[in-house]
Amino acid sequence: MNKIDEIMNQLEEHYKSVERTTLNSMREKEEPWKILISCLISLRTRDENTEKVSRKLFSVAESLRDIADMPLEKLEE
């Protein structure tokens, strides 16, 4: 186990009872691109909408390529 993993495990243990934010809940899967896209969405939406919008987008886009190829009109939905 490297030092970063060790620190993350300690932090996770310490903050187990703290409610996870939308972006933190997405860390469970190794898909950092989803965190990045959700961060960008959070800049344009209220916190309570970030998760809804992110999940809706990721239900139709399984990769960055899917998002890049998506017509602008569909993204705006």
Whether 51 maps to a domain, the answer reads yes
Do 51 and 22 contact (CB within 8 A), yes or no? yes
Does residue 4 sit within a domain? no
52 falls within a domain:
yes
Q: Give percent above pLDDT 70 in the chain.
A: 82
Number of domains in the chain: 1
Joined together, the tokens standing for residue 5 give 């993993």
Q: Would 61 be classed as within a structural domain?
A: yes
**Could you say which residues of the chain have pLDDT below 50?**
none
Strand residue runs (E) in 21-72: none
- pLDDT of res. 18: 62
Is residue 17 situated within a structural domain?
no
Region of residue 21 (left: phi > 0; alpha: psi -120 to 50; beta: else): beta
Range of the domain at 68: 22-76
Q: What is the pLDDT of residue 12?
A: 82
